[in-house]
Amino acid sequence: MDYCWVLSLFAFVVVVVVVSSVNAIGRVDNTSFYDNYHLTWGFDHALLTNQEKEIQLSIDTSSGSGFESNALYGSGFFHIRMKIPENNSSGVISTFYLSSTPSSSDHDEIDFEFLGNNGPPYTLHTNLYTNGQGAREQQFRLWFDPTKQFHSYNLLWNQYQIVFFVDNVPIRVFKNSTENGASYPSKPMHIVASVWGPSWTGHINWSQAPFQAHYQRFHVDGCVLNDYDIPKCYSSKYWWNNNNLWKLNPQQRGSYQNVRHNYLTYDYCSDRSRYPEPPPECQFNQ
């Protein structure tokens, strides 16, 4: 019994170590912000530090701030490290997401949004748009304090699945189930990040400002795409398209089910007041 326990703990540690090193693919990230990104708004509310290996975005009553990738991508394993604002930041939203041309009415988008808080629980909001249609929200209660340290937030996007990871734990899966009538993101997307205070989140206590979010790790594992020929980005020469990433492995499935069971606080798939019938993709993403 004890022996088994030690053995499974050992196996878990091995898996975690292997998974983390695969994500970092043996590279120490020394990429500067400007190698892959540029600021898009709130230029005087952004501060690069640590030899441009880290950026701080602030929001106060005059402005928030944001950046995006120089390139558009058609697949990848997108990764950022992020620390969200401290203080009582209710009403402030910090984001990391992928988005095709946002103004178009048929845009695709894959979102991580941190809703500001008055202390725990800390809510991570996710959403996914295809052809301009969103309303696919899932929310999670985080099992750590995201304001205190940097944590990893990753998005895997290949032809088979989109997976949202928090510290390498898969929290959300969106499978390509187009054959069963669902839709799937298919447009080149920028990587975007921002700190802002949209009116719909309600009152912000500005006496607590400025609210500051920090981002690190500007290396990008993605397939650059300058046209709409997305199959180019499904090539097996990109490691995130390999068949070991077409679905969750058994260990990831275990973590995924654990998160859904213990930390999922809202799921559009089970909201019968909005969707009398669950949308077609729901049954494939369990």
Residue closer to ligand NAG, measured from CB, 169 or 195? 195
Return the half-sphere exposure (C-beta side, CA atoms, 13 A cut-off) of residue 57. Answer: 30
Q: For residues 98, 16, 264 and 176, what is the CA-based torsion angle, rounded to 10 degrees?
A: 50
Determine, following the binding rule CB under 6 A, whether residue 87 of this chain makes contact with ligand NAG.
Answer: yes
Stretch that binds ligand NAG, among 14-22, 103-111, 176-184, 249-257 (CB under 6 A): 176-184
Q: Site map for ligand NAG, 114-143, x if CB under 6 A?
A: ----xx------------------------
Among 23, 56, 205, 251, binds ligand NAG (CB under 6 A): 205
Taking the complex as a whole, the smallest distance from the CB of residue 114 to ligand NAG amounts, in Å, to 15
Judged on CB neighbours under 10 Å (0-12, 13-18, 19+), 270 is: exposed
Residue from 8, 20, 21, 30 in contact with ligand NAG (CB under 6 A): 30
Omega cis (within 30) before 198 = no
Asked whether 232 and 74 are in contact (CB, 8 A), the reply is yes
Distance CA 106, CA 83 (A): 31
Distance CA 220, CA 67 (A): 14
Q: Is 186 in the site for ligand NAG (CB under 6 A)?
A: yes
Binding site for ligand NAG (CB under 6 A): 30, 32, 51, 86-88, 118-119, 159, 176, 178-179, 184, 186, 205, 207-208, 212
Active-site residues, by number, are 109, 113
